[in-house]
Amino acid sequence: MITVDTKELRRLESELKVFARRAYPFATKATINSAAFSAQRTARKGIKQKFTTRNRFTEQSVRVEQAKTLNVSRQSALVGSTADYMVDQEFGGTKVKKGKKGVAIPTSYSAGQGENKQPRTRLPRKANKLQNIVLKRRRKRGASRAQQNLIAVKQAAASNRKYVYLDLKRREGIFKIIGGKNKPRIKMVHDLSRKSVRIPRSPWLGPAVTKTVPKIPEMYVKALRFQLQRNNLFR
């Protein structure tokens, strides 16, 4: 007569049911979140190496929205940037003027790299950033365009205003006045000549995800092992 001791089988069965009900969802959630944070670190590193940035705002704008639910079929984590302009960098796009003036393109002079340096490899200096420039509204006069520009420069210099908008027919933009009141000279800091500007693709998130994918199996094994050890199913 064969006697079967089912106590051990029932114990294992019970532990497996506990694992399936409680531990497994934690393992999958941990894997998804680990992959998301790995992609975040890689993306931030790539931005630091690839893009021209004055501070860490763009780098730190890459955030993770973690998976929280234990419903395995609904678990997901999101990786992306809170900065709108990073979408254009990832996929490319076209920047179109919003008002009467063209798209503002910072010049190399605005970044302290001299005139007409191509490509510009630095951000505009703080004072030359568009949001920091205040312009006085110009009144239209019966004079020619050249005379209007000359008057605008002289008035700005006399009033100690450093910036002025000028329409030079072929080029228009925001200029910085240098040289003092007696002999003022102008240097363009923002070119407003173009109605639209094409932004080339410069992917930063896609490559980060591609580098992360091969690491996911290892992350999953680590998460499973942790849950097994936590529930005394793996020693």
pLDDT digits (tens, 9 = 90+) for 160-199: 899 999 998 888 999 999 988 888 999 999 999 999 999 8
Structure tokens at 215: 């690491």
Structure tokens at 79: 């990786």
Mean pLDDT for 227-234 is: 70
Q: Which has the higher per-residue pLDDT, 97 or 233? A: 97
Long-range contacts of 9-16 (CB under 8 A, 24+ apart): 15/231, 15/232, 15/233, 16/233
Q: For residue range 128-165, what is the model confidence (pLDDT) as tens digits?
A: 998 999 888 766 666 788 888 888 898 888 888 999 99
Residue whose C-alpha is closest to residue 30's, from 78, 75, 81, 64? 75
Mean pLDDT for 101-115 is: 89
Mean pLDDT for 75-88 is: 93
Q: What is the mean pLDDT of the chain?
A: 86
- The yes-or-no verdict on residue 224 having pLDDT over 90 is no
Residue boundaries of the structural domains of the chain: 7-92+200-230, 97-198
Question: SS3 string of 149-173?
Answer: HHHHHHHHHHCCCCEEEEECCCCEE
Residue whose C-alpha is closest to residue 78's, from 35, 27, 41? 35
Q: 0.75 cut: is pTM over it?
A: no
Which DSSP state fits 109? G
